[in-house]
């Protein structure tokens, strides 16, 4: 098997070949590590590799296969972890100079524990902007993570290292986090699948505000099946996340109407825009093509006319005030070594009053109820994941205007990533799926949002789109 076949094979196929003794976990890992070494100077996806322990784990995985031991669904599959989550023996730097010399983590995050329990080989940690603060992955402490489809463009953020690595064949699965679109945005930029689960379905043990949480963890993958497999491994309650304790009852089985390929009973609400003023013509055309693909299967597609307040301002209050408070202790010593975007967001967040923050929390509830009302009429909502393709890698996320078809549309939250953050606030599951390529040759994407707990439905609809409009065979040419 060629290196390209190994590197761009799906995780589920690799696991099946390993179980049947047709693929060596040791050889598979060696191919992935060699590819990382070749591409790291250009892509910069990783902040740390755990090569020795990964090789030892791959050898143990091979021995388990030969011994006929019980094997998990990801047995022998290399997986990388975003550098906001703990991996025992590696530093968690949070993409920041503040933690660049932190002590290695003493234990794995609960999600890393679950991945290892499923047989995954943890190979290292992927890049994130400082504290995951912005929609591009770069920072003073580690440089720029680039898009494998075009090295002059960003890989998105804040799970940009994971998305770029998956797209480039540097491990078929990445564990990302999503506080304001940070799984779905990079997935869209890099042409892969990214799933933000329902609030609580995958535990967030490290959330500072467990009860007001809007941050999620989920998979980045090249196929819907791989994303579904990884999600199944991650999901389940944890004693440290109150939302997760009741989430098992919220998980819905797949709707019977989606069992086959006749979608005549499916009602899709198409949302052309959220808080953003424009969508690029190529993105809109590719979104329409995905809607047409589902319509050919019988789905009823209707444009949503309801005047939804997507709470862009209130969402900004919640987001920036959070960073203003939690990063404040670092400023006296570290300000000059922090990402200027982090500092700018903190300064803006510090201007909000307590009343602003409480009113923003009330607005979050109103938004949830407005979206819930849409699900009285629609089975799922569909919209572009991003308003345009990946921005330039040197884009200033705090100050630069996003240009959409030559028109200035505001900073990233207003002009580029607007469709994502609302569903962090409402808690509904949302998946980003490749929808084609733009006029500049970069990936575009569509977002599918489901009812609370309906991951199975959004994954199924994604799988049907993947069959109708395949994408996994398209790979970037890193020359």
DSSP letter at 392?
A: B
E-strand ranges in 98-213 read 121-126, 138-139, 143-144, 146-147, 150-154, 173-178, 193-196
Q: Phi first, then psi: give them for residue 448, nearest 5 degrees.
A: -115, 125
Q: How far apart are CA 35 and CA 47, in angstroms?
A: 15
> Any catalytic annotation for residue 20?
no
Q: Is the pLDDT of residue 479 over 80?
A: no
CB of 257 closer than 8 Å to CB of 263: yes
Q: What is the pLDDT of residues 229-283, one digit of tens each?
A: 999 999 999 999 999 998 877 889 999 999 999 999 999 999 999 999 999 999 9
Q: How far apart are CA 127 and CA 182, in angstroms?
A: 12
Q: Partners of 173 in the beta sheet?
A: 79, 221
Kindly state the percentage of the chain with pLDDT values over 90: 97
pLDDT at residue 288, as a whole number: 98
> Any catalytic annotation for residue 82?
yes
- Active-site residue (options: 96, 155, 158, 238): 158
Q: What is the pLDDT of residues 183-200, one digit of tens each?
A: 999 999 999 999 999 999
Question: Where in the chain are the domains?
Answer: 3-468
pLDDT at residue 248, as a whole number: 73
Q: Is the pLDDT of residue 39 over 80?
A: yes
Kindly state the percentage of the chain with pLDDT values over 70: 100
CB of 278 closer than 8 Å to CB of 405: yes
Q: Phi first, then psi: give them for residue 418, nearest 5 degrees.
A: -50, -35
Stated length of the chain: 479
Q: How far apart are CA 230 and CA 160, in angstroms?
A: 18
Question: Roughly what angle, to the nearest 10 degrees, separates helices 455-468 and 281-296?
Answer: 100
Helices (H), 205-352: 224-234, 242-245, 281-296, 312-326, 331-334, 340-349
What is each CA distance from 311 to 418, 422, 448, in whole angstroms? 10, 8, 20
pLDDT at residue 1, as a whole number: 84
pLDDT at residue 478, as a whole number: 77
CATH number for the domain whose boundaries are 3-468: 3.90.1300.10
Say whether 170 sits in a helix, a strand or coil.
coil
Q: What is the pLDDT of residues 118-168, one digit of tens each?
A: 999 999 999 999 999 999 999 999 999 999 999 999 999 999 999 999 999
Q: How far apart are CA 187 and CA 191, in angstroms?
A: 6
> Any catalytic annotation for residue 418?
no
For 433, other C-beta atoms within 10 Å of its C-beta total 29
Measured CA angle at 368 (ends 326, 234), to 5 deg = 65
Q: What is the pLDDT of residues 305-317, one digit of tens each?
A: 999 999 999 999 9
Q: How far apart are CA 39 and CA 47, in angstroms?
A: 13
- Active-site residue (options: 82, 125, 134, 196): 82
At residue 2 the predicted structure's pLDDT band, cuts being 50, 70 and 90, is confident
- Active-site residue (options: 155, 159, 182, 238): 182
């Amino acid at each position: 098997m060629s290196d390209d076949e190994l590197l761009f094979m799906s995780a589920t196929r690799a696991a099946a070949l390993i179980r049947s003794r047709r693929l060596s976990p040791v050889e598979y890992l060696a191919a992935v590590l060699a590819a990382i070494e070749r591409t790291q100077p250009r892509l910069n996806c990783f902040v740390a590799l755990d090569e020795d322990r990964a090789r030892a784990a791959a050898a143990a995985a091979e021995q388990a296969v030969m011994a006929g031991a019980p094997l998990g669904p990801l047995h022998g599959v290399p997986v990388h972890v975003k550098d906001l989550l703990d991996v025992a023996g590696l530093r968690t730097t949070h993409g920041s100079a503040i933690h660049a010399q932190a002590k290695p983590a003493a234990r794995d995050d609960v999600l890393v524990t679950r991945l290892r329990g499923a047989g995954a080989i943890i190979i290292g940690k992927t890049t994130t902007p400082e504290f995951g603060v912005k929609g591009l992955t770069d920072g003073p402490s580690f440089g720029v993570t680039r898009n494998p489809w075009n090295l002059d463009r960003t890989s998105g953020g804040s799970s940009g290292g994971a998305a770029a690595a998956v797209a480039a064949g540097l491990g078929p699965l990445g564990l990302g986090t999503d506080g304001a679109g940070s799984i779905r945005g990079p997935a869209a930029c890099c042409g892969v699948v990214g799933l933000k689960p329902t609030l609580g379905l995958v535990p967030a043990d490290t959330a500072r505000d467990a009860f007001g949480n809007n941050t999620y963890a989920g998979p980045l993958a090249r196929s819907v099946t791989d994303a579904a497999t990884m999600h199944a491994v991650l999901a389940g309650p944890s004693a440290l996340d109150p939302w997760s304790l009741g989430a098992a009852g919220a998980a819905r089985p797949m709707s019977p109407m989606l069992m086959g390929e006749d979608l005549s009973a499916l009602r899709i609400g198409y949302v052309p825009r959220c808080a953003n003023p424009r969508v690029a013509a190529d993105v809109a055309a590719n979104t329409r093509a995905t809607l047409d693909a589902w319509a050919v299967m019988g789905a009823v597609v209707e444009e949503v006319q309801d005047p939804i307040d997507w709470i862009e301002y209130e969402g900004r209050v919640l987001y920036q005030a959070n960073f203003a408070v939690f990063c404040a202790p670092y400023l006296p010593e570290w300000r000059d070594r922090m990402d200027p975007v982090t500092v700018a967001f903190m300064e803006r967040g510090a201007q909000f009053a307590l009343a602003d923050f409480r009113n923003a929390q009330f607005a979050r509830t109103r938004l949830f109820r407005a979206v819930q009302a849409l699900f009285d009429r629609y089975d799922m909502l569909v919209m572009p994941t991003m308003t345009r393709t990946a921005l330039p890698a040197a884009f200033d996320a705090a100050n630069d205007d996003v240009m959409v078809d030559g028109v200035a549309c505001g900073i990233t939250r207003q002009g580029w990533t607007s469709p994502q953050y609302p569903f962090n606030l409402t808690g509904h599951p949302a998946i980003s799926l490749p929808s084609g390529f733009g006029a500049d040759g970069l990936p575009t994407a569509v977002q599918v949002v489901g009812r609370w707990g309906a991951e199975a439905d959004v994954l199924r609809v994604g799988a049907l789109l993947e069959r109708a409009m395949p994408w996994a065979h398209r790979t970037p040419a890193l020359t």
